[in-house]
């Protein structure tokens, strides 16, 4: 019996070694769906979806708000989920398309309370989530608008692993990542505007929250029809801030910036609103709003009240 036990222990040890070898082998360690043996040059591979954006919780939103869910079809049959809030009362004052801040869903953050507040004040609202860029794309978007010397750039790229990862990809690949990200957002906004028009709301006002501000702005600068453009606590990537005042000179759509009260201090060196005011952009207004970061419901309703009042004043 002791000899049998020794043989059994040896057999278990051999089995454990074989299993460990299998689990740590390169082929087994592939990501789900990735073909084994794919060890080519990363720069030669087409950028995958995981490199460009993350999700916006559409599945859970569809289950939580089935009566409000509005699926929008993009190019190549892709779909995104919006939430439609009908206006209170029989007659709508108009419609508003809201693009949530980066990383927020069509109902999270201030977006849900903002939409509910506008709907209760007689405005039909369609909200859309905004996917966060994947870490590699985020690094691309955060690059300074004016690149420093090649030597300084090379030194900085060697200082962090994220920069090294970007450096592995060719400039064409990084440009493609950004183009795909922005193009998808543009398609989403186009589909949202088309849905509101189909439901009888002509030239809806367009609202961008936080980092969504540049995306709704680009949509209008590309020729989309809207009755008004509204920024809520806007924030712009470095490359977007550089020439935006000059680009907005051709915009005939009224523009309102709602900025958190007290936020000008320490931010006026890059605040887009201050630059637009100094540039004398026609049709541009700025208004401070109380901002309650710990109470998004209160903040959303305050912003909704300010937007509704401003839109109503423009209808007179």
Residue 259 falls inside a structural domain: yes
Q: Which residues make beta-bridge pairs with 207?
A: 98, 230
Give the pLDDT confidence of 161-170 residue by residue, as tens digits. Answer: 444 444 445 5
If 0-12 CB within 10 Å is exposed, 13-18 middle and 19+ buried, where does residue 107 land?
buried
With 70 as the cut, is the pLDDT of residue 241 above it?
yes
Residue 16 falls inside a structural domain: no
Q: Which of 3-12, 221-230, 254-263, 281-290 has the lowest mean pLDDT?
A: 3-12
Residue 56 has a pLDDT of 58
Residue 294 has a pLDDT of 67
With 70 as the cut, is the pLDDT of residue 174 above it?
no
With 50 as the cut, is the pLDDT of residue 255 above it?
yes
Residue 41 falls inside a structural domain: no
Give the pLDDT confidence of 116-134 residue by residue, as tens digits. Answer: 999 999 999 999 999 888 8
Q: Which domain holds residue 95?
A: 54-132+169-315
Residue 262 has a pLDDT of 67
Residue 3 falls inside a structural domain: no
Residue 43 falls inside a structural domain: no
Residue 157 falls inside a structural domain: no
Residue 23 has a pLDDT of 36
With 50 as the cut, is the pLDDT of residue 79 above it?
yes
Residue 275 has a pLDDT of 85
Q: What is the pTM of this model?
A: 0.75
Q: How far apart are CA 58 and CA 61, in angstroms?
A: 5
Residue 35 has a pLDDT of 33
Residue 263 has a pLDDT of 57
Residue 54 has a pLDDT of 54
- CATH code of the domain in which 209 resides: 3.40.50.1820
Average pLDDT, the chain: 77
Strands 79-85 and 229-232: unpaired
Which range of 42-56, 159-173, 204-218, 234-248 scores highest in mean pLDDT? It is 204-218
Residue 229 falls inside a structural domain: yes
Residue 222 has a pLDDT of 93
Residue 40 falls inside a structural domain: no
Residue 296 has a pLDDT of 84
Which range of 43-52, 56-65, 101-110, 287-296 scores highest in mean pLDDT? It is 101-110
Number of domains in the chain: 1
Residue 40 has a pLDDT of 39
With 60 as the cut, is the pLDDT of residue 53 above it?
no
């Amino acid at each position: 019996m002791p000899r049998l036990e020794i043989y059994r222990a040896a057999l278990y040890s051999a089995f454990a070694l074989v299993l460990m070898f299998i689990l740590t082998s390169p082929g087994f360690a592939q990501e789900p769906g990735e073909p084994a043996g794919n060890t080519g040059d990363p720069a030669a591979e087409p950028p995958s979806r995981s490199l460009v954006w993350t999700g916006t919780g559409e599945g859970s939103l569809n289950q939580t708000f089935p009566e409000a869910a509005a699926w929008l079809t993009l190019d190549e049959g892709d779909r995104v989920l919006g939430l439609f809030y009908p206006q209170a009362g029989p007659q709508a004052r108009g419609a508003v398309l809201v693009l949530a801040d980066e990383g927020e869903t069509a109902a999270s953050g201030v977006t849900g309370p903002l939409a509910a507040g506008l709907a209760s004040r007689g405005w039909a609202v369609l909200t859309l989530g905004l996917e966060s860029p994947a870490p590699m794309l985020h690094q691309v978007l955060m690059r300074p608008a004016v690149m420093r010397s090649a030597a300084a750039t090379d030194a900085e790229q060697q200082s962090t692993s994220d920069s090294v990862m970007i450096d592995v990809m060719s400039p064409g690949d990084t440009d493609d990542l950004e183009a795909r990200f922005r193009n998808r957002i543009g398609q989403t906004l186009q589909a949202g505007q088309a849905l509101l028009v189909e439901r009888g709301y002509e030239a809806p006002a367009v609202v961008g929250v936080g980092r969504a501000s540049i995306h709704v702005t680009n949509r209008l600068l590309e020729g989309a029809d809207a009755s008004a453009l509204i920024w809520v606590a806007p924030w712009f990537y470095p490359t977007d801030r550089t020439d935006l005042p000059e680009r907005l000179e051709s915009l005939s759509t009224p523009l309102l910036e709602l900025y958190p009260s007290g936020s000008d201090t320490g931010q006026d060196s890059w605040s887009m609103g201050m630059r637009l005011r100094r540039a004398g952009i026609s049709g541009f207004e700025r208004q401070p709003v109380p901002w309650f970061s710990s109470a998004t419901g209160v903040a959303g309703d305050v912003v909704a009240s300010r937007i509704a009042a401003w839109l109503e004043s423009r209808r007179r």
